[in-house]
Amino acid sequence: MTKNNSWDSVAKEYNQLIRDSGDVYHSTYLNPLVLKLLGNVKNRKILDLACGNGYFSKILANDGAIVTAVDYSKEFISIAKENANKKISFFVGSSSNLIFLDDNCFDSIISNVAFHDIKDISKTINECSRLIKPNHKLIFSIPHPAFHLSKRAKENNEYFKKVKNYVSLMTVDHHYFKGVKHYHRPIEYYCKLLFKNQFIISGFYEITTKHIGGKIIKYAKLLRHKQEIPTFLIIEATSVK
């Protein structure tokens, strides 16, 4: 059992935001593509890593997957267990030390908008390599590192992004949940860790959105700007060990 952490204190608030299908960004942009990349999940063993309130685990289980859901927050796991499908096994544990799970036991590993919240991402990806079957896929989504920390600006009636500190590794305050930290890393950093742990990048998807603060954009110039600047990044990595 892990000790209390910052996510425990915001788990209920997070659950109110995410609910059963994720917020508008999850449900509209991320979930459909991740599910498409996974394909038919019936009877496949899938690890939902840093599962949060477990909403995606439940989607997978309802589609017939045999799901293992892990999160560092015991409060998240407590929430996730509510009304859960029997095909889901829940564990409180660190993504960087999944000793309670066997080698080569998963057909797929997914982590939806969570890798940027994990401090020891190096050991986490190493564990993913250990747990995934050869020639099977790890799929993760994160806020796009090139633009997530940049501020939107307007000049001469046009919108653009002020990008700085992209290459640096940084610990920053979460933009929504007080007291929670997340970790900025450039895309190259993730790629090198994947290559080191015998993954190849088999899919790379930059996701643009039509929403700000959960509301669809109606102003044409702002919408055009949003559709030119990716909000999220989804990486599909295939194990070649």
* Predicted confidence (pLDDT) per residue in 32-60, tens digit: 999 999 999 999 999 999 999 999 999 99
Q: What is the mean pLDDT of residues 161-187?
A: 92
pLDDT digits (tens, 9 = 90+) for 103-141: 999 999 999 999 999 999 999 999 999 999 999 999 999
Sorted by where each starts, the structural domains of the chain and their CATH numbers stand as: 6-144+186-219+230-239 (3.40.50.150)
What band does 1 get if pLDDT is binned at 50, 70 and 90? very low
Instruction: Give the model's pLDDT for residue 55.
Output: 96
Other Cβ atoms within 10 Å of 93 Cβ, number: 19
Q: Is 43 exposed, middle or buried, given 0-12, 13-18 or 19+ CB atoms closer than 10 A?
A: exposed
Residues 6+ apart with CB under 8 A from 196: none
Q: Is 148's pLDDT higher than 50?
A: yes
Q: In the chain, what percentage of residues exceed pLDDT 70?
A: 98
Query: What pTM was estimated for this model as a whole?
Result: 0.95
